[in-house]
Amino acid sequence: MKFEKLTKEQYAWVGIRLVLGWTMIWAFFDKLFGLGYATASSKSWLNGGSPTSGYLQFASSGPLSGFYNGLSGNTGVDVIFMAALLLIGGAVILGIGTKISGYAGALLMVLLWSTNLPPANNPIVDDHIVYMILFLAMTLVKPGRWLGLGKWWSNTPFVKRFPILE
């Protein structure tokens, strides 16, 4: 396997890609197993807890809180949320599906941002908006090409047929 020499900017984008992916994957595993960070073991998904109920029921605030409270504990919402964390995080870490994972990650961040309006420490911007911008920027930069499987993935016949999966 031949490795190309990367620029400082490329290494920075690889770092951003890996950190964003890890953020999603970690949230998935913490909610699945209850690793004791955001989710206690007794409230893990595997122990019958809902990955969305506590947050949507008790932590949402603002004009959309009634909508989010209504989604709390819904099995379909739990499955979609957990699948989003796993698929977005996995794709970003591997460097594949940069377009679709970037857009999906940005959408997930906007939805999470909208659960607490206005944000606690700033009238508009919080960490979810920063993550959203980084996810969208990844769709343009495509950092999965560097220290990832992005080049290989982009050249597969399936991705050539469906470019949104690039």
Q: What token pair was written down for 162?
A: 């469906």
Does the residue 142 lie in any domain? yes
pTM greater than 0.85:
yes
Q: pLDDT digit string (tens) for 55-107? A: 898 889 999 999 999 999 899 999 999 999 999 999 999 999 999 999 999 99
The domain total for the chain is: 1
Does the residue 72 lie in any domain? yes
Structural domain span for residue 135: 8-165
**Residues 109, 115, 121, CA angle at the centre, nearest 5°?**
85
Closest C-alpha to 166, from 86, 98, 66, 71 = 98
What percentage of the chain carries pLDDT values higher than 90?
90
Q: pLDDT digit string (tens) for 4-63? A: 799 999 999 999 999 999 999 999 999 999 999 989 999 999 999 999 998 898 889 999
Does the residue 2 lie in any domain? no
Lookup result for tokens 């209504």: 70
Does the residue 1 lie in any domain? no
